[in-house]
Amino acid sequence: MGITMKKIGIVLSTVAIMGFSSFFGTTVVDAANNIDDVKNERSELKKDLSDTEAKIADVLIDLKELNKEIERVEESLKQNEKMLDEANEEIEDTENEIEKLKEEIAEIEKSIERRYEILKDRVVSYQKSGGTITYLEVIFGSESFGDFISRVTTVNKITESDKNLIDSQEADKKLVKEKQDDLVDKLEESKQLKAELEEMQALIEDQKAQNEKKKDELKVKEQELQKKKEELKIKDSELAEIEESINNSSQLTTLSSGTSGFNSSSNSDSGQQKSSGSRGGLFAWPTDGGYISSGMGPRWGRSHNGTDIARTDRSTIPPIYSVLEGVVESASFNNGGYGNTVVIRHSNGMKTLYAHLSSISVSTGQKVSKGQKIGVMGSTGRSTGIHLHLEAYKNGTRVDPEDYL
């Protein structure tokens, strides 16, 4: 740091040894230079703190998007597993159908064999007595015209029956072959689909593993940034103490010259602390201690609609006070990201909003006085840490709260 407690000790020691009169002539300049150094260092520190908070916000956004992506991947994994189970069932069913068809084929082949036996028996019956009887002998061996007609009709029927048996045999063979070909094709398609689904399963599981790894890395990064943020806050608190010590030494020197230097630095409203950047005076300081961690205006690529006041002492959660007397317009949880929020309407056309409270101590319609407790500082809603988000409105138009603190 540019300023150390050793320097403060030198300043105070000089006051004690040299006396107020000589200190006024020499050490006041050193104190002024020192406090400028402290303010410059605090300004740089707050910038670093703001950048760190912006990075934390970016990491949280990335984590949120990554969690959504992980959910989508897990849903794809479930769908793919379901389709893979269906493919396995399809393969099993097809293989069972093929086994049944083999049994059916065996039965059809037996039936075909039986038909061949019938044809053989018929041929044997044609060839009785040595098998020399021909088709013409059967016809022309008739004893009368009626017998001739009967023999021709009989031969035609036998011939037609034989033809039908042969046609039926060929149809059965064709049917069995078609069923067999269809099932083989179906089995091949099911196995190919299964292979594709297994490949897709591996890709999805790999994507899931990559997302989980990235998530772990983002969490580590967030923890590092949060640690840096807390260290910066502690460092700023130490600088604030140094700044206060220098101011006190400067005030003592001014008193030794016969003029009062306390009016410009004293806090109003029962000693409640104000930010070093306060400019107005209409509003009471809305908490115990604390400092302005972020002002109104552009921030992280968006517009920040108010002033953020963070706690100085991390071991306590300070109360929140109404900056003016007025009537509570609303006191409830805000779904827009503000969390627990209190809005107070004041008689002079002003309206103030207090967001991210951990708890609320007032109710809608209640009258409150200036400096009255309305809740406790918190981090509800969209918040990266415990602080108060304060907004101010004048006649319906948003104004910078720092102009009135």
Q: Which pLDDT tens digit goes with each residue over 15-26?
A: 333 333 333 333
pLDDT at 249: 63
CA atoms within a 13 Å half-sphere pointing along the CA-CB vector of 243? 18
Q: How many helices (H) and strands (E) does the chain have?
A: 4, 13
Torsion of CA 132, 135, 138, 144, to 10 degrees: -150
Q: What is the fold of 1-266? A: Helix Hairpins (1.10.287)
pLDDT at 155: 64
The token pair that represents 129 in the structure block:
């007595």
**Vertex 294 angle, CA 221 and 301, to 5°:** 65
The token pair that represents 190 in the structure block:
């099911």
Collapsed DSSP state (helix, strand, coil) of residue 300: coil
Q: What is the DSSP string of 154-187?
A: HHHHHHHHHHHHHHHHHHHHHHHHHHHHHHHHHH
Contact status, residue 236 vs residue 312, Cβ threshold 8 Å: no
Q: Which residue has the higher pLDDT, 187 or 328?
A: 328
Residue in 281, 271, 288, 258 with CA at minimum distance from that of residue 388 = 288
Looking up tokens 């409203």 gives 269
Superfamily of domain 291-403: Glucose Permease (Domain IIA) (2.70.70.10)
The token pair that represents 124 in the structure block:
């044997």
The gap between the terminal CA atoms of the chain, to the nearest Å, is: 29
Structural domain boundaries of the chain? 1-266, 291-403
pLDDT at 345: 96
CA atoms within a 13 Å half-sphere pointing along the CA-CB vector of 118? 15
pLDDT at 248: 67
pLDDT at 131: 45
Which residues lie across from 307 on neighbouring strands?
390
- Rounded to the nearest integer, the mean pLDDT of the chain is 76
* Mean pLDDT, residues 107-113: 74
Mode of pairing for the β-strands spanning 373-376 and 350-357: unpaired
Collapsed DSSP state (helix, strand, coil) of residue 258: coil
pLDDT at 357: 96
For residue 7, pLDDT over 50 is answered with no
Long-range contacts of 270-274 (CB under 8 A, 24+ apart): 270/371, 272/321, 272/371, 273/312, 274/405
For residue 66, pLDDT over 70 is answered with yes
pLDDT at 123: 60
Per residue, the 3-state secondary structure of 315-332, as one string, reads CCCCEEECCCCEEEEEEE
